[in-house]
Amino acid sequence: MKKYADVTPQDFLKEIFPNVYLLRGSIKIGPLLQMNRNMIVVRNGTELTIVNAVRLNNKNLEILDELGTVKNIIRLGDFHGLDDQFYIDKYKADFWSQENHNNYSNLTPNKFINKTVKSPIPQSLFFVFESAKFPEAALFLQESKLLITTDSIQYWDDWNHISFLSKLILSLMGFRLDLFIGGPWLKKVSTQKESLKYDFENLLDLDFTSLVAAHGNVLKYSAKIKLEKVIFETFK
């Protein structure tokens, strides 16, 4: 029997836009260290797509199964993937990611994310950070004007599911209650100071107004305006 990561503290699945659901959960990264972690579920009829997978507890699994049948698992970022195998095995779903992941490299996609491939979700498209040293993408849901990211862009408005020690460390690393480009992520994936600048500028061509990442909370209606300022401040 395969061993999966343990279930960690989490809220209930919550609808944030029509047919788009957010699970605010957590991940234990060491003794006394716990960080928030999110999963998105998108429903299309009876078909469900999971983005940024987090292993659900039994109650949330019941809620998930009531919503429909899981058909797709989407991994957008290289530094996530801990719980993908659980869902792949449980639901025999298609697994989407870019090629050549450094983390959880044993997870082999049967569907590949690139800038031209058609998304499995109607009225959506993938955006790829082409300059990043490690695979990173975003998913844009056109109907709700929602941009789904992993570590690249995050919005935090509370410290839920974060231990005291983790809060101190994350604060020193530049995490804050606002919209921001993930500092540790940017440092790791960049080849030089402005190597991701043009990717972010191209991202602004998408007509999104809201954002939700693999960490933090959902930001409704002002995400693009805030991101324009953050990009300017980051790469000026």
Count CB atoms within 10 A of the CB of residue 117: 13
Q: Is the CB of residue 97 less than 8 Å from the CB of residue 106?
A: no
Positions of the chain with pLDDT lower than 50, given as ranges: 1
Residue 3 confidence (pLDDT): 82
Structure tokens belonging to residue 220: 């409704």
Residue 106 confidence (pLDDT): 87
Distance of CA 7 to the CA centre of its chain: 18
- Write the CB contacts of 62 (distance below 8 Å, at least 6 apart in sequence): none
- Write the CB contacts of 106 (distance below 8 Å, at least 6 apart in sequence): none
- Give all domains of the chain, ordered by start, each with its CATH number: 14-235 (3.60.15.10)
Residue 2 confidence (pLDDT): 64
The pTM of the full predicted model, rounded to 2 decimals, is 0.96
If phi > 0 it is left, if psi is from -120 to 50 it is alpha, else beta; for residue 174 that is left
Torsion of CA 217, 58, 35, 12, to 10 degrees: 20
